[in-house]
Amino acid sequence: MKLFEKRGFSLISLILIIMFSSSLIEAARVNLPSTNDGNNKNSIDDEKLVGVFVFNTTVQIFNNLDNQNQLTVHCKSADVDLGAHVVANNQDYEFEFRINFAGTTLYFCGLTWVGGTGSYDIFKASRDSSRCASKCVWRARNDGIYGYLESKNQTVADIIYKWS
């Protein structure tokens, strides 16, 4: 501790530097993604980033609406706006990030289609770091959006948001 104080750092300064670095890493971690065609990953090479948390989390939102309806997805965190993306029927949109040092990462998404709209917490670290730490899968259906437990191979929806 004395080493840090000699260099002008207090413990609080050191903690703030670590938290700020984590936010920068998370912001750098997420590119502006486009609709996933199965080949692209919307992230920077892991070797280029040094972060507090080693593992990535992927959020994947499928358009399983009837009648070839398109789904517009617009996701944001406190630091990153991923922009609006139109997802064709039976396609998906995905993005990757790392949970921040403080464990407060939150991504919320506005979802819109001709039959409904809503804004939902798609990833909330306090809820999801144990239920879908590496991959959070959501399926938009005519009656709502369904979130699946990672450990159940997407067979049991544990979160259901109805369209407003």
CA–CA distance, 7 with 121 (Å, rounded to integer) = 41
Q: What is the pLDDT of residues 69-111, one digit of tens each?
A: 999 999 999 999 999 999 999 999 999 999 988 889 999 999 9
Cα of first residue to Cα of last residue in the chain, in angstroms, is 53
Residue 144 has pLDDT above 90, yes or no: yes
Q: What is the pLDDT of residues 5-24, one digit of tens each?
A: 445 556 565 455 555 555 54
CA–CA distance, 132 with 158 (Å, rounded to integer) = 11
The confidence band for 44, taking pLDDT boundaries of 50, 70 and 90, is: very low
Is the dihedral angle over the CA atoms 132, 97, 127, 80 positive or is it negative?
negative
CATH numbers and ranges of domains, the chain: 2-162 (2.60.40.10)
Is residue 105 classed exposed, middle or buried when 0-12, 13-18 and 19+ CB atoms within 10 A define those classes? buried
At residue 18, the pLDDT reads 55
List all residues 6 or more positions away from 151 whose beta carbon is below 8 Å from its beta carbon: none
Closest CA to 73 of 148, 133, 23, 145: 145
CA–CA distance, 105 with 95 (Å, rounded to integer) = 14
